[in-house]
Structures are given as C-alpha cells and as structure tokens.
Amino acid sequence: MIRKLTYVATLFAGLTCFSAAHADDYYQELGGKEGVEKIVDNFINEISFDQDIVTFFEGTDITRLREKLIEQFCHESGGPCEYTGDSMKDVHAGMKITKAQFNRVVELLQAAMDDAGTPQTAQNRLIRSLAPMRPDIIHR
C-alpha cells in the first residue's frame, strides 16, 4: 500500500515537473537558435542607433555581448543553453541606470523582436522572464 502510494506520489511529482518545465518554454516560439540570434542582432543594432543608450556600451566587446545575450535569451526561454555571463548586478554595477533608460532598452528590445517577426505572445514571455532582473539593473 505504502509502496503504491509512493509510486503514485513519485509519478505525480514527475508529471508536475514535466508540465512545469514545458509550460514556460517558449524557445521554439522565439524561433529557436535562428530566431534568438536574429533578435539579439536586431537588439544590438537598435542600441547602436540610440544616442543615449549606446554610451553605456563604449569599450564593450560586442562579440562577447552578442554571445552572452544569445545564451541568456536561449536559457530564459527554456532553450538548450547555459548563461555563462556575469550576474546582472555585476554587469550593471556603477552604471547608475535610470528607470527611463531601463524603459528605453525594453522599447529597443521590443523593436528588435518586432523586426525579427517574433510573435506577440513570445515577445511578452521574454519580457516576463527578463522583468524580474530590473532591481539588479537600475540605480546601481
């Protein structure tokens, strides 16, 4: 009896895990590897045309930035990647980013996703994944 219950509980826990892991996955909805790369390329392009935001990236290794952003968006959307970059806190330390600048970068990301043809629901899911990072980014 106990064994049976344990089995059922384990099975149930397994199913819950399985569905939880997949309910939030939207990597394919972002367009998989190709889609994420396109979003990141567009994003970097949008940043490079924004006179205020681009100043934060002076001296940045853009190749590395691109690689880490692709990892991050891939990982956040449930794709087969690990994020190997620095923590958001460390990356933005000393930058004194205002709420206005944070919002501007959100807008640039939205424009990048629009240009990449990312579906609205996938855009929203990526924004939901990134939004909790705000306290680690602004006013640091």
Partner 1 sequence: MKSKLIPLTAVAISTLAVADVNAGSRLIATSGVTQLEGGAGGGLTPWAVISGYADEGEYSVGAFHTSTDVQDFRLKVNGVSASYDNRFEVSAALQSFEIKGVAGDLRQEIYGAKYRIYGDAIYTALPQVAAGIQYKRLLDGDIAEAVGAEDSDSGIDYYVSATKVHLAAVGGYHLLWNATLRATQANQMGLLGYGGDDESGYTLQPEVSALVLLRDDLAIGAEYRKKPDNLSAFDEDSFSDVFIAWFPNKNVNLTLAYADLGSIAGSEDQDGFYFSISSWFK
Q: Side-chain half-sphere of 49: how many Cα atoms within 13 Å?
A: 10
- Site map for partner 1, 74-103, x if CB under 8 A? ------------------------xxxx-x
Of the candidates 104, 115, 136, 140, which one interacts with partner 1 according to CB under 8 A? 104
Burial of residue 118, with CB atoms counted within 10 A of its CB: 0-12 exposed, 13-18 middle, 19 or more buried = buried
Q: Is there a contact between 60 and 103 (Cβ–Cβ < 8 Å)? A: no
Question: Rounded to whole angstroms, how far apart are CA atoms 76 and 26?
Answer: 9
140: contact with partner 1 by CB under 8 A: no
Query: What contacts 73, CB < 8 A, 6 or more positions away?
Result: 30, 36, 39, 40, 79, 126
Cβ 6 to partner 1 shortest distance, Å:
35
Stretch that binds partner 1, among 6-14, 66-74, 89-97, 119-127 (CB under 8 A): 119-127
Q: Is there a contact between 30 and 36 (Cβ–Cβ < 8 Å)? A: yes
Stretch 36-65 residues interacting with partner 1 (CB under 8 A): none
Cβ 31 to partner 1 shortest distance, Å:
15
Task: At 128, list the tokens.
Answer: 């939901």
Stretch 8-37 residues interacting with partner 1 (CB under 8 A): 26
Nearer to partner 1, 29 or 67 (CB): 29
Residues contributing to the site for partner 1 (CB under 8 A) = 26, 98-101, 103-104, 106-107, 110, 119-122, 124-125, 127-128, 131, 134-135
